[in-house]
Structure 1
């Protein structure tokens, strides 16, 4: 959508050149705008699959699971019948007339059947309690998702052992009937009805174990089939249908067929997303594992349920609900779900995983929308009925001292700043009541003076002096735009020792985007010259578990902006978070760095 540093990064970035190009295209009436970029790791074939198809597959999985569970239940009923018949009629009534072979065989079959049923129950109990957690420390990060593998292994072992026992019992029963024959089946001696009683018992046993074998074989076959359906779109980590099948089967065994039939697909989907996040699987990996199910959720009342769960008391349901809007960033008409965005506002001020998940979602949505070329209001700028909008909330969150980690807040704000609509709004808010608002050039001049003043102050030098003195200065210095720039500069300054490198990278990137929007090369160069010293000493590689690809891109854009050389990314681990957090090769890193710096330097050629 349980965060650790950098685990929620999405791929892709946009610079001033790209935004200006898009703006020019709209002004020229471009009828074929460039489609949004698709993050690496997304499988086009799986995106094109109809959510209705997923629902049909899930219904088939439920039917198959109920069938297998019903066979198991029927086998259990026949086992009880065999046990009752043997204890009451054979071992209780005519035990003295049984041959030694029959006595031991009947006793052994009863104990083996009880053991077989116990095996099924114990393996189901083990499966239901598996909660394999990914490693939490960033330096030990790995993703193998061992839980589905453990579930599959235990399921195979349980069903294979149960089926093997049933086959062995069938063989023993057949050996008794067809090979040994003889008394009491072919003799008139002994108690009355002894032959009929044994025949009835052995027939019940044969039917019971035949059904048990069929149940075990179908279970293994159907589960493998569901696993194949999950990965049919080329996504080897998908496991939604197999998990749904397991859930229905386990519910039917533990609580009955009727209860299993009442399991709703949407409720299961929320439970699975919450469970995956609870296991500390990174949100974007959770999205990859459950892509089709997440798409189904969006189109089947999932948005309404997210709004409800965001207000609920179940922590992990809130965490799942907070991350889901970010998973839906590519879905059609998601930008029209204003209730969803207003609901996110209520969670971002916390310090828990639900607040982090909400900021993750805001970041994903903002990054995707910044690539669009539509002429419409930005969804985060639409005011709620109670006043205020989501962007105002993010701005307030940036300016406040809250318990939430800085890097989550800064990444969300930086993603918003990639969009021209957001930047225009922030600039417009400097003088919102004027019919002719302050022009960008003047705002840029003020911003540069503010930054220069802040750098001088935090560098221990004489306090910088503001070079403008007109009547607009007092109003500008109290605007949110001015406060944001000061806040970002403070986060980047050497005095903010507790701010992690990721927070500093995105603080610098957001500040760069705000300054570049003034569209005045002279002001932009002056700001870059003022910040060069800080960026040189603060945007550097520090020991930590890994850097995300987006971190690398943002850092290199900022360093290229002020004319600094690239960092040595080959000396650290860089992961492509949007592509199952795979470690990037030195060749890929070098290619991306060159591309990023080429774009940045082409947009703002400067020598400082």
Structure 2
């Protein structure tokens, strides 16, 4: 059975531990020395938002290093206090200490050890917390609670650490300032006992002050990062807070030097890969990393994406494959042939990285169908051939996938349908098929032929002789043009004789077929108008039954996106169906927005607008 969503594919994919490849091109250092390239943590031509994010990230790194350095310093002072107490006080003057001092010194040492243990154990706990989305589509929450859980644990750990330090501070002040002598009087006890106690309590005092300052600044700085993350009104964003946590955790575990060498772009790819590895939906990952993803769309980020697409790390490939779809409004993406051809090469696989690449192609194609339709470029970016590998292009690769295998059908169908929304793509398919047909046909004649072919296929599928004619059909398909094979394949997808094909696949297959069959305007040719009318009439019963959600679909799909409803409604109008499909009784999620459930009024508005 086909997989219907990139999310479900990611859920069932296990991690493959492979050595990562070096993502920094050798030319980078020489370009930077010549002043002709992007810096390590940035890229030339990035937007103001990207520059702001980079500045905030560097500030977060400095703040995390400062807090970690204070914690390290308090640890050093704690060791000094422990050494002084065990060697000097408890070793040399233990019999001369007052009962109060003996128990206070012992309590302070134990409390300091417990405070350091708190920080270490909470760092270990936080680093191993993995929030995972539910697997059942009906229970998808479309959220990432990881940041919320981590924030609470960070707050709890720092409050506990600061509270222990404050108690130690209070008892130290109480002992020195209130109780006073004895035994601080130099006239009582051994000669050096009073100075030794003064030195110990001074070290403890400084340690407590620095520990309290470290905890307070940690809470303050992390709250700053949360505020900066959510400054654009998105309550789910957590990139800066996570970057702060990464620097702080690395500084505590490995040292401030290693923490200071963490690269922002490397962190960005690691974070997106780890989010996807936790089964978080790609569109939710986009929402919680909006500013960071925008920053990654710079020159160096795109270059690293191309290299990760060719790398050995599975989850880095999945992250890189999703990124172009997140950058759909970047005006430089249509011009970046290396990125587009890297996506093309990746979709030929059968894994989740191939599905992620198809999702990016779908997102780009949908956006370009609206923004580039009226552009001066005569060719769509996906029909431009590569000059280095037999001249292949993105669209031909998707078409070949549709015609050769049914694995991950929904991803290929959605990507193909999104491409077909652009007039230039449909024109390319018509021209290619016309050139390879036995008889040269113009656009109108080709359109008539396609509509007649669909009528024949529907009639044949509805008849009783399908099984008898199957072998003959194979021979017939071999002589068909690519466009005719596509229409035949799509008709088979929406046919009632394909019961395992789920409704999202059927919806986008029908929409793609509609775009191809209506490529020629009815006003251009009366013959086309008549052929299109026959085809839509022949498909009416199929559309009525196969594009209608039922309880069987609800168990497997669980929810719809506004684009699903829009595509289904356009097809219904094409075949002139008046029946209400009652989309309001279904769960509809705004995947292009904040991934929240839509109200009945919003769903009705989508239906009316379609």
RCO greater where, 1 or 2, for CA within 8 Å and sep 6 or more? 1
Distance, in Å, in 1 between the alignment partners of 2:297 and 2:509 is: 32
Task: Quote the offset at 1:478 in angstroms.
Answer: 2.1
Cα distance between partner residues in 2 of 1:88 and 1:48: 60
Matched, 1:526 2:525: no
Q: Cα distance, 1:523 vs. partner?
A: 2.1
2:169 is aligned with 1:170? yes
- For the Cα contact (< 8 Å) 1:366–1:415, is it kept in 2? yes
Conserved 8 A contact 1:4-1:138? no
In the alignment, what sits opposite 1:5? 5
Aligned-residue CA RMSD in angstroms? 1.9
Q: Per the alignment, in what secondary structure is the counterpart of residue 85 of structure 1?
A: helix
**1:285 touches 1:578 (CA, 8 Å); kept in 2?**
no
* Aligned residue number for residue 548 of structure 1: 561
d(CA) in 2 for partners of 1:196, 1:247: 42
Q: CA deviation at 1:130?
A: 1.0
CA contact (8 A) 1:139 1:546 kept: yes
Deviation at 1:97, TM superposition (A): 1.2
* 1:315-394 map, 5 Å: 315-372=314-371, 373-376=374-377, 377-384=379-386, 385-387=388-390, 388-394=392-398
Quote the residue 1:467 is aligned against. none
Aligned: 1:564 with 2:568: no
- 1:593 corresponds in structure 2 to 607
Q: Distance in 2 between matches of 1:530 and 1:424?
A: 25
Alignment partner, residue 44 of structure 1 = none
Alignment of 1:459-538 (within 5 A): 459-461=462-464, 478-519=480-521, 520-538=528-546
Instruction: Please tell me whether the aligned partners of residues 124 and 250 of structure 1 are also in contact (alpha carbons under 8 angstroms).
Output: yes
- Output the CA distance in 2 between the equivalents of 1:581 and 1:223: 26
1:349-376 C-alpha deviation (Å, 9 max, x unpaired): 3232211110100000000110122121
> How far apart, in 1, do the equivalents of 2:143 and 2:4 lie?
17
Is the CA contact 2:134–2:140 (under 8 Å) kept in the aligned structure 1?
yes
Matched, 1:279 2:281: no
Gaps of 5+ in 2: 9-45, 467-475, 522-527
1:430 and 1:476 in contact (8 A); partners too: no
- Give the distance between the partners of 2:191 and 2:337, measured in 1 at CA: 81
Distance in 2 (alpha carbons) for counterparts of 1:310 and 1:402: 23
What residue in structure 2 maps to residue 79 of structure 1?
Answer: 78
CA apart distance, 1:424: 0.4
Q: Which whole-Å CA distance do the structure 2 matches of 1:530 and 1:277 have between them?
A: 43
Q: Secondary structure at the match of 2:77?
A: helix
Q: Which residue of 2 aligns with 1:19?
A: none
TM-score, normalized by length of structure 2? 0.86
Q: Does the Cα contact within 8 Å between 1:6 and 1:548 map onto a contact in 2?
A: no
Render the CA deviation track for 1:163-191: whole Å, top value 9, x for unaligned. Answer: 00000000000110011111221242222
Structure-1-length-normalised TM-score:
0.87
1:399 to 396, 403, 406: 403
Partner Cα distance (2:142, 2:127) in 1: 21
The question of 1:454 aligning with 2:454 is answered no
Partner residue in 2 for 1:210: 209
**CA spacing shift, 1:258–1:249, aligned 2, 3 Å:** same
Equivalence map 1:3-82=2 (5 Å):
5=5, 49-82=48-81
Give the match for residue 307 of structure 1.
Answer: 306
Contact preservation (8 Å) 2:144, 2:284 = no
Q: Is the Cα–Cα contact under 8 Å of residues 252 and 258 in structure 1 kept in the other structure?
A: yes
Separation in 1 of the partners of 2:330 and 2:54? 17
Aligned equivalent of 1:411, options 411, 414, 418: 414
